Amino acid sequence: MTSVPHSAPISTAHGAPTPASVPGHPHCHYRDGELWVEAVSVTALARAHGTPLFVYSQAAMLQALAAYQRGFAGRNATICYAMKANSALAILQTFVRAGCGLDIVSGGELVRALRAGVDPAKVIFSGVGKTRTEMAQALRAGIGCFNVESLAELDVLNEVALSLGLRAPVSLRVNPDVDARTHPYISTGLKDNKFGVAHDQALAAYRHAAGLPGLQVRGIDCHIGSQITEVAPYLDAMDRVLDLVDAIEGAGIPISHIDFGGGLGIQYHGETPPAADALWQQLLARLDARGYGQRHLMIEPGRSLVGNAGICVTEALYLKPGEEKNFLIVDAAMNDLPRPAMYEAYHAIVPVQPRAGQAPGKLWDVVGPVCESGDWLGRDRSLNVQAGDLLAVCSAGAYCMSMASNYNTRGRAAEVLVSGDEAVVIRQRETAEDQLLKEQTLPD
Ligand SMILES: *Cc1c(COP(=O)(O)O)cnc(C)c1O
């Protein structure tokens, strides 16, 4: 890291004041009038690798992880990175080498996880719709725990395990019926969504699981949603889960680990989520008060470990001012950054080389080239920009590249991981030929 001041505005070469850092992005800052990720120039990366380009800071990821690790110091805790947030092998390796396990949601993610060198015993398998094939794959790999989401799934997992002569380690994902007060599409802990076993059916489900010879009850799990910015929903969920642990153990079924899921939010646009260590200080105090502080604890954070460690660099292609709206058309699109289209999510968009002077009074809708009106990245943004300029879409480390698609036969972007003054291409840009590989033309 360089010793650039992070608070005071710095003057650019053109004399225009620019912000010294990017809000929420500890390892992104302006120096000499341009944006840097750690000690690497974003402009140089875009020149070398083209756009759209995802750039990640490894230091930012490790710093986010360190907050959890501080929070759990002296405890028996396992941090399982929820890899669906960003499943690039190099990012998995970053967390695995730092001691993490991985939370997977598909057989494909299991293959990635193993390729990244994770200890299978530190893999937990979440998700409402595991297939028999995926169950068998994970059993053979010797994963640490299946987080089971329904009675029907318990029965199928029991059958699959018995057919392999194995016992499946299980937790039940219970639905604590608390409101995580986040976007409805990313809230998962309420009664009316598809996730988990209802709180009032959980004890019966544990009795059922304990009676199945192919299963071995290990723990209990909950995950109440994503982009949670308050402590209260976590405390509520924890109380509800601990009530269940009391009841389940009272029924003679020991629970060896308690998994509190993921969901901690990040700063996209002025949110002020608690820091991971501060959150866990409060949660551990509650656990201690209820006598569970020395249990094996597990968590499954995704977004909070990677979200603000990444930006997506895009080039402004065309300015299209209009009567009602001014459109700024860029070369990144909804296939690269699906969150605005999916959830109307906000991503900050900042210039890579801020231009001198005030932004003209115009507000821009930043949109991509895809043939959908839903293909927008930001609305009504004040930007002083011209065609050819580079922009950085912020908070692009989580649920961007991992949700990217080939819609419009657009190749998925390249990804670069920065560490200090080094930048490594961790995924090459996808070509049209890559996309055609599995296809078959009709015979003449
Ligand atoms: C997605 C998911 C997570 C991670 O959620 P974040 O909001 O990214 O922290 C954890 N556990 C389960 C079961 C999930 O589905």
Q: One digit per residue, pLDDT tens: the chain, 444 residues? A: 333 333 344 444 444 455 678 989 999 999 999 999 999 999 999 999 999 999 999 999 999 999 999 999 999 999 999 999 999 999 999 999 999 999 999 999 999 999 999 999 999 999 999 999 999 999 999 999 999 999 999 999 999 999 999 999 999 999 988 877 666 655 666 666 778 899 999 999 999 999 999 999 999 999 999 999 999 999 999 999 999 999 999 999 999 999 999 999 999 999 999 999 999 999 999 999 999 999 999 999 999 999 999 999 999 999 999 999 999 999 999 999 999 999 999 999 999 999 988 777 789 999 999 999 899 999 999 999 999 999 999 999 999 999 999 999 999 999 999 999 999 999 999 999 999 999 999 999
301 Cβ closer than 6 Å to some ligand 1 atom = yes
222 annotated active-site: no
Q: Give start-end residues of each CATH 3.20.20.10 domain in the chain.
A: 126-301
d(CA 300, CA 247): 24
262 Cβ closer than 6 Å to some ligand 1 atom = yes
Helix ranges (H only) for 260-405 are: 276-289, 303-306, 339-343
User: 323: CA distance to ligand 1 center in Å?
Assistant: 42
**Which CATH topology does 20-57+307-436 take?**
Lyase, Ornithine Decarboxylase; Chain A, domain 1 (2.40.37)
d(CA 218, CA 347): 39
The closest-lying atom of ligand 1 relative to the alpha carbon of residue 225 is 7
User: 228: CA distance to ligand 1 center in Å?
Assistant: 11
Q: Give start-end residues of each CATH 2.40.37.10 domain in the chain.
A: 20-57+307-436
226 Cβ closer than 6 Å to some ligand 1 atom = yes
The one catalytic residue among 28, 312, 371, 394: 371
SS3 content of the chain, % helix, strand, coil (to 5): 30, 25, 40
Residues 128 and 148: beta-carbon distance below 8 Å? no
User: 123: CA distance to ligand 1 center in Å?
Assistant: 14
263 Cβ closer than 6 Å to some ligand 1 atom = yes
CATH numeric code, 126-301: 3.20.20.10
52 Cβ closer than 6 Å to some ligand 1 atom = no
- The pTM score is 0.94
CA distances to 262, 271, 330, 423 from 62, rounded to whole Å, are 17, 21, 31, 16
User: 179: CA distance to ligand 1 center in Å?
Assistant: 16
DSSP 376-387: EEEEEEE----T
